[in-house]
Amino acid sequence: MSESSKLLRVLLLGANGQVGRAWQETLHGVNVVAALGRDQLDIGDLDRLGDRLYDLAEAIKPNVIVNAAAYTAVDRAEDEEQLAYDINALAPGVIASVASNLGVPMVHYSTDYVFDGHGQAPFIETDAPSPLSVYGRSKLAGERAVQAVGGAHLILRTSWVFGVHGQNFLKTMLRLAQTRDELRVVNDQVGAPTSADLLAKVPSQMLQQIQHPSDPRWGVYHLCPTGYTSWHGYAVYLIEKAREMGWPIQLANESIIGIASSEFPVKARRPHNSRLSTQKLQQTFAIALPDWRVGVDQVLQVLEPGA
């Protein structure tokens, strides 16, 4: 990225996902010059990915490539390991190689699932990863593939993503709270619900500050809001807030029941501690991150009936 230009010309992969859609919303100083969904560029098609992406980038001249595409079906990944690795591990390495050959940086998203979730302290970027699932292992392999290329990159680990678009926990809870008499929600997994808008806004701010491929600030960062909650605490806050805003909530507060993970068996193991320290990001870029409830409130405002 040249020092004379702060306008981000973004080639965006995964345009139809939650984070991809957020990048296409209005962001100051950002021009998404190409937003590619799976129908335009299937990153799982490894035989053609490199050549097709290079040709596209040569034609449109982006100054950053953002990879918001991922295989995110955590439980299904246990049975589709090769597909998960193709998309989450091998494709990022190809994308990073194209970006490096073009001399442009890459933004890549990763996950709290690279950690095993032991303890209660927030994980920092230099803590040793130890993923519990195929999904987590494939995302960690993707991080390492990007790093191995050696080009300028931002790898952003995040947690519990939600947004206006797509399917997510927030929208599922809202739907069920309007029809169910009781909800049973896991209360022994703790993390920070993260809005897709934050995952687009913050890296765009980071990129505005980084002007040269040799800048020492490229690397791995944790990006999520401040504060932590359990899935149960998240559901309770969300449903209470939605009721205040006039949603037709049928569910009583006392009918949102906290349960242990063992009472809700799933194929892939989840970390109990998904706390991520964002101190490195906040100090390096002087960016203040909001409390997780702010993002929840903002999405509710957009989704609110009649809004």
Question: Could you list the active site residues?
Answer: 135
In whole angstroms, give the CA distance from residue 69 to residue 17.
7
Contact 196, 21 (CB under 8 A): yes
Report how far Cα 60 is from the mean position of its chain's Cα atoms.
Answer: 25
Distance CA 177, CA 247 (A): 10
Q: Is 226 left (phi over 0), alpha (psi -120 to 50) or beta?
A: beta
Q: Which contacts of 38-45 are long-range, i.e. CB under 8 A and separated by 24 or more positions?
A: 38/69, 40/15, 41/13, 43/13, 43/14, 43/67, 43/69, 43/87, 43/91, 43/94, 43/95, 44/71, 44/83, 44/86, 44/87, 44/91
- DSSP E strands, 42-191: 64-67, 106-111, 153-158, 161-162, 183-186, 190-191
For residue 94, what are the CA distances in angstroms to 49, 51, 239? Answer: 7, 10, 42
